[in-house]
């Protein structure tokens, strides 16, 4: 029987259990062990993807967890943590197009053995294979052709951000840098924190792809700030692959992401004076300080390259739910958050299921009102830009 599962497929590993850095800068607490504990027990995630398993240090930690019995290999790929959360192994790899633009791409494989072989092969192109998101010194086209030989799911990451993304800095169309065959080898498209499906579906070539929304977590707290609902028969890498390709009833049933205005790259921003444009600026100079230090926001980049003035959603596109993580709720500190978790067990239960009355008993009326308005999509928001997140306005 088809069941629904919460999934966050873009979580970074900060440090190995041997004390060596994997992803700089991130939290020291972001070890594979702590990620699994946080995702399963506090966040309520059923599927997690770590995107630094190309590192032999990360693979060693995963092997250790299997030897301890905390992770068990699954028929069909992936590893089950304590019989409740599926771990799939991924790598975030940086490529460079001939014009100089850098892009990040997620590559997921079914097991430790395949990732070890992929890591060994990629080490001839990547100078320090132990560190995260290293430049592979190749264009995306070459990476797609290599990864396809390793039973990989290939997913361009945070595709509109002004730093290291395909549409943000590399091209106006994937068809300009990939052949039809190579575009067909992409498993999905990751939207990123500053975009939603309304924005992405203004670009015609994306209509055939499944969209996913993930946290890109650099700390434990950021896990599940964006996530998906997958409809699967069971937890396995193969089932996830079938959901992305919408095969035999498996599918992504919903995308849960920040309102794009909360994303830190949503609007154009001046690095010189901090000006955030909220009116659709078309000039190349900052109207406040007259510098040419503007970083184009996702909103303005999509407007620049879109095929359509309004989204053209294909029939398979699921609803995009604006989800506001607890960290964005004004006045909700660690003490109250811990009380809520003690009462409702996971953040998913707090964000989606607890009633206003139940929330009020634990956190008070004001916090309950914020959570309910966030759930309903009616919260007032000040837009983010230039690396600064947007924020909820106080009621």
Contact status, residue 127 vs residue 279, Cβ threshold 8 Å:
no
Predicted pLDDT at 280: 66
The answer to whether residue 288 scores a pLDDT higher than 70 is yes
pLDDT band at 296 (very low <50, low <70, confident <90, very high): confident
Query: What is the pLDDT averaged over residues 273-284?
Result: 73
Domain boundaries, the chain: 3-259, 261-295+326-392
Half-sphere exposure of 122 (CA within 13 A, CB side): 37
**What mean pLDDT is reported for the chain?**
92
Cα distance between residue 340 and residue 156, in whole Å = 36
The answer to whether residue 86 scores a pLDDT higher than 70 is yes
Helix (H, G, I), strand (E, B) or coil at 80: strand
Cα distance between residue 355 and residue 110, in whole Å = 39
Sequence-distant (6+) residues with CB within 8 A of 86 are: 5, 46, 47, 48, 74, 78, 79, 80, 235, 236, 237, 240
Cα distance between residue 335 and residue 337, in whole Å = 5
pTM of the model: 0.92
The DSSP annotation for 338-370 comes to HHHHHHHSSHHIIIII--HHHHHHHH-HHHHHH
pLDDT band at 355 (very low <50, low <70, confident <90, very high): very high
Helix (H) or strand (E) holding 371: helix 365-376
Of 116-130, 174-188, 206-220, 345-359, the least confident: 345-359
Query: What is the pLDDT averaged over residues 9-22?
Result: 97
The answer to whether residue 395 scores a pLDDT higher than 70 is no
Helix (H, G, I), strand (E, B) or coil at 110: coil
pLDDT band at 283 (very low <50, low <70, confident <90, very high): low
The answer to whether residue 97 scores a pLDDT higher than 80 is yes
First and final C-alpha spacing in the chain: 43
Strands 294-295 and 269-270: antiparallel
Query: What is the pLDDT averaged over residues 272-292?
Result: 77
Predicted pLDDT at 37: 97
Predicted pLDDT at 282: 58
**C-alpha 27 chain-centroid distance:** 17
Predicted pLDDT at 175: 98
Which carries the bigger pLDDT value, residue 274 or residue 230? Answer: 230
The answer to whether residue 24 scores a pLDDT higher than 90 is no
Sequence-distant (6+) residues with CB within 8 A of 247 are: none
What share of the chain in percent tops pLDDT 90? 73
Sequence-distant (6+) residues with CB within 8 A of 180 are: none
Query: What is the pLDDT averaged over residues 368-388?
Result: 79
Residue in 209, 249, 254 with CA at minimum distance from that of residue 228: 254
Query: What is the pLDDT averaged over residues 209-234?
Result: 96
244-277 pLDDT per residue, tens: 999 999 999 999 988 887 777 888 888 788 787 8
Count each helix (H run) and each strand (E run) in the chain, helices first: 12, 16
Cα distance between residue 154 and residue 181, in whole Å = 13
Structural fold of domain 3-259: TIM Barrel (3.20.20)
């Amino acid at each position: 029987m088809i069941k629904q599962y919460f999934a966050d497929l873009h979580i970074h590993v900060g440090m190995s259990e041997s004390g060596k850095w994997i992803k700089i800068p991130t939290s020291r607490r972001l070890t594979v062990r702590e990620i699994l504990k946080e995702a399963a027990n506090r966040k309520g995630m059923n599927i997690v993807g770590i995107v630094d398993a190309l590192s032999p240090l990360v693979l060693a930690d995963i092997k250790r967890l299997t030897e301890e019995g905390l992770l068990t290999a699954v028929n069909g790929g992936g590893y089950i943590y304590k019989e409740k959360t599926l771990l799939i192994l991924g790598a975030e790899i940086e490529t460079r197009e001939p014009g100089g633009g850098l892009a990040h791409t997620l590559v997921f494989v079914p097991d430790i053995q395949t990732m070890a072989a992929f890591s060994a092969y990629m080490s001839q192109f990547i100078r320090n294979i132990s560190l995260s998101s290293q430049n592979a010194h190749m264009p995306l086209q070459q990476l797609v052709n290599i990864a396809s030989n390793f039973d990989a799911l290939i997913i361009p990451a945070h595709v509109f951000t002004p730093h290291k993304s395909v549409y943000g800095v590399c091209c106006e169309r994937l068809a300009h840098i990939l052949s039809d065959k190579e575009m067909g080898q992409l498993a999905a498209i990751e939207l990123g924190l500053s975009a939603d499906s309304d924005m992405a579906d203004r670009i015609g070539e994306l209509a055939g792809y499944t969209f996913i929304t993930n946290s890109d977590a650099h700390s434990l707290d950021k896990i599940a700030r964006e996530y998906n609902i997958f409809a699967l028969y069971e937890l396995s890498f193969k089932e996830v692959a079938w959901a992305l390709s919408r095969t035999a009833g498996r599918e992504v049933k919903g995308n849960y992401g920040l309102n794009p205005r909360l994303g830190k790259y949503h609007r154009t921003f001046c690095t010189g004076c901090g000006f955030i444009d909220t009116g659709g600026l078309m000039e190349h100079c900052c109207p406040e300080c007259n510098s040419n230090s503007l970083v184009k926001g996702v909103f303005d980049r999509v407007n620049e390259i879109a095929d359509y003035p309004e989204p053209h959603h294909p029939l398979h596109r699921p609803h995009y739910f604006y989800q506001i993580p607890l960290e964005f709720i004004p006045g909700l500190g660690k003490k109250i958050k811990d009380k809520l978790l003690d009462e409702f067990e996971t953040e998913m239960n707090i964000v989606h299921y607890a009633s206003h009355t139940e929330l009020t008993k634990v956190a008070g009326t004001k916090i309950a009102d914020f959570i309910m308005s966030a759930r309903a999509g009616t919260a007032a928001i000040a837009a983010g830009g230039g690396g600064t997140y947007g924020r909820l306005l106080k009621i």
